Structure 1
Amino acid sequence: MNLSSKAITLIILQMIILYASGQQRDSTKLKEDKTSGIIVLPAIFFSPETSLGFGVAGMRYFRTSSDSLARPSNVQAVFIYTLENQVLATMPFNVFLNKDKHWLKGEWAYYIYPYQFYGVGSEVDLDTYEVYTADFLRMETNWLFKLHSDFYLGPTIFFDNYFNIEVDANGELATGDILGIEPQQVFGIGGSFILDKRNNLFSPSDGYYLEGRVLQYENRAIGDYSFTDMYIDARKYFSPIDRTEVGLQFYHQSILGDAPFYNLALLGGGRRMRGYYQGAYRDHHQTILQTETRRYLTKRIIFSAFGGLGSIAEEFGSYEKLLGSYGVGLRYEINSKEKIRIRVDYARGANTSGFYININEAF
């Protein structure tokens, strides 16, 4: 489990403890009849890579319209600092404005952080990796405009900056022909669309969701690389029987051109192909198909079983290795009205596994 997994794990575990014991401050209590709320929690942890770490996490959900059918906005924030001078600060957000006519969506983040690099391609050895550190700044903003019903379209700006990079002098990053080990940045401009027919933004159980994006990066002015990044994300949700939810997801991403290794298609993580370290498998193209079934055991406790198939390749369609993942999990619904959940998952892949704790569903 890497630093972010451990930090989020401690944060959410403390959230469970504080919620169950009823010791939160008044501003963080979640009531069934509320349409907005704030959670602010401390975090402290220890790991061999980071020594002692501590910080704070927060989430605010709210509606910008008095209409009870308006979409709920949410802004999350996590700040972690360790005695090794490592920093993790991230703020993902979804904000609906002007009676849901505008959707502001994205993430701003800054990391000083250790990463694991296994190589590029599908023939990597998951038992062999090198550790590198870098300062990492990301600013992603999508400003989407409602054109018709639940269809949104708008511009996207994406900025990544890696600097203060330290790699193993004898490792593949330093000795191989890999783009991105020098301090440089990428800047992309493009467009995104979303067709959102889900019955809930946080934990959907009915409807469908379709998202697509195309970004063009240029090595002019701000950027140092020229390449194209595009993806399509299609999801379907239904409830075959009472108190049971089923989700299906198809995801494809293609990187065209010479992109740095940290902007290639990264398979794995806490949302797609759980069980694999995010970026253990990376290349120019990836395709993923996954499904999940969730069943209420009590009013607030939910059991989950999920699985996925995925692959990466240098050339589009030339997949040679099919990867599988599967797992089980539990959810605790801390707000039944908004369906805000704490998610705990254990997943296995090919000779690998992962443990994930987060807020709301993976997809």
Structure 2
Amino acid sequence: MNIKFLFITLILLLNLGTTLQAQSNISNEVSDVGSADTGVKTIDKLLNVVDYFSHEDEKYAIAAYPAVAYSPRDGMRFGGLSIIKIKNQNTDNQWYRPTLLMPQLTWSTKNQVKAELGYDVYLKHWNLQGNLNLALLPNDEFYGIGRNTSSTQFTRYTSNSFDYLGEFNYMVHQKIMFGLAFNFRHQEVTDIEQPELMPADTPGHEGGLLFGFGPVFRWDTRNNNFYPTSGHWLNLQALSYNNGLSDYRFLTFNAEIRKFWSSANEKNILAFQARIDVSNHDRPFFMMAGIGGSKRLRGIDHFNRFLDNNAWFTQIEFRKHLWWRFSGASWAGMGQTAHRVEEFDLQHLQAVGGLGIRFQATKTDRMNVRVDVGFGSGGQKGLYLSILEAF
């Protein structure tokens, strides 16, 4: 795996060097990228092939691309991803909210299958958003619970799950919403290779059915919901699984803030994120708070590497338009997990940093497909392919 990772990282860095060289020769507007013009006809033809993967008109924008990626959890992944945007009548530059649909389907060299549909729908006074995720993972890994676990001591097991996290939000103002969130999950945990590393008293050892719901408050002043360059996003959410429809009983609460600044031409963007997740009781391990993944601290070896009842993380990212449809990003972040909130300290911080490339999927909207390479404390690393920005 290390050889594959280094090889893919090298390719990514070579691509970054190419786009930086192109940037020194050519300058294009981000909002209307047009066609590639490097002065070399063969290269231009190759670059402009991407237009065959997308379509855009006055009402819709659709882009679909093949996906090839690597992550420590999945191995090499192959499949397809797409972005479907349905435009609305609100073209106010200070608050533009189209409807987005984001389906993905991938298979990995570890025989893992993932099917996902994310949606973010805006009606006159309502916002409906959610994520449906089917994951068949015959070689998933469990490292234990807590911040003192070892990266070399883990057991493989089969994790099959269907997860639906959704929200119904009423917009009392175009920037302020109140609503109801819900989470339905069916989880199977089988074929544990080393039962001594996942003993029977591990919360969630037998899988189960979960259903939770609770209130949401959101204050959103971003100027764009998929590539913001100014404004902030504050989200507060609580979910209760203390009902007769769930095999587990616990409460969760999370608070998250995102803030964005940019230069006058919006080609240089600084983005900040901070989030905390807490619980009043032991959650099943597959629902525990974590700090790894493509939308959290990119650079932690495995999505399940650090799990516990409570977690927090923060990160800052610099985004810069490079050339044509390509942009670059660099980030740094830190965070930790803890069994109880009062156990948060400065001695168990996990730090990450990394670089990434973004490709603008359509000509007139900054809906990006991104590839990120992250490095973390203790020699951890990860490479991620995803749709839209991490935050």
TM-score, structure 1 length as denominator? 0.85
Structure 1 unmatched runs, 5+: none
Aligned partners of 1:218 and 1:224 also within 8 Å: no
Aligned to 1:71: 97
Matched, 1:159 2:187: no
Deviation at 1:301, TM superposition (A): 2.4
Aligned to 2:152: 127
Matched, 1:209 2:233: yes
Q: Which amino acid aligns with 2:252?
A: D
SS in 2 for 1:212: strand
SS in 1 for 2:343: coil
Deviation at 1:136, TM superposition (A): 0.1
Q: Indicate which of 233, 252, 256 corresponds to 1:229.
A: 252
> Which shifted more, 135-144 or 163-172?
163-172
Q: Separation in 2 of the partners of 1:88 and 1:246? A: 32
Q: 5 Å matches for 1:304-323? A: 304-320=329-345, 321-323=348-350
> What percentage of residue pairs aligned between the two structures are identical?
25
Aligned to 2:299: 275
Q: Indicate which of 322, 331, 346 corresponds to 2:373.
A: 346
Deviation at 1:342, TM superposition (A): 2.1
Aligned partners of 2:64 and 2:83 also within 8 Å: yes
Q: Separation in 2 of the partners of 1:265 and 1:201? A: 25
Q: Indicate which of 87, 99, 106 corresponds to 2:113.
A: 87
Cα deviation 1:301-352 (Å, max 9, x = unaligned): 2221100010111111312411111111222223353211222211111120
What CA RMSD, in Å, does the superposition of the two structures yield over aligned residues? 3.2
> Which shifted more, 329-338 or 246-255?
329-338
Q: How many residues get paired?
A: 345
Q: Separation in 1 of the partners of 2:202 and 2:188? A: 16
Aligned to 2:360: 333
Aligned to 2:217: 193
Aligned to 2:320: 295
Cα deviation 1:46-67 (Å, max 9, x = unaligned): 999989986443321112x333
Aligned partners of 2:114 and 2:136 also within 8 Å: yes
Deviation at 1:76, TM superposition (A): 1.1
Structure 2 unmatched runs, 5+: 10-14, 16-42
Aligned to 2:389: 361
Aligned partners of 1:225 and 1:258 also within 8 Å: no
SS in 2 for 1:297: strand
TM-score, structure 2 length as denominator? 0.79
Q: 5 Å matches for 1:86-125? A: 86-98=112-124, 101-113=125-137, 114-125=139-150
Cα deviation 1:136-166 (Å, max 9, x = unaligned): 0111110000012310111111111112522
Write 1 or 2 for the structure with the bigger share of helix: 2
Q: Separation in 2 of the partners of 1:53 and 1:202? A: 24
Deviation at 1:210, TM superposition (A): 0.4
Aligned partners of 2:63 and 2:361 also within 8 Å: no
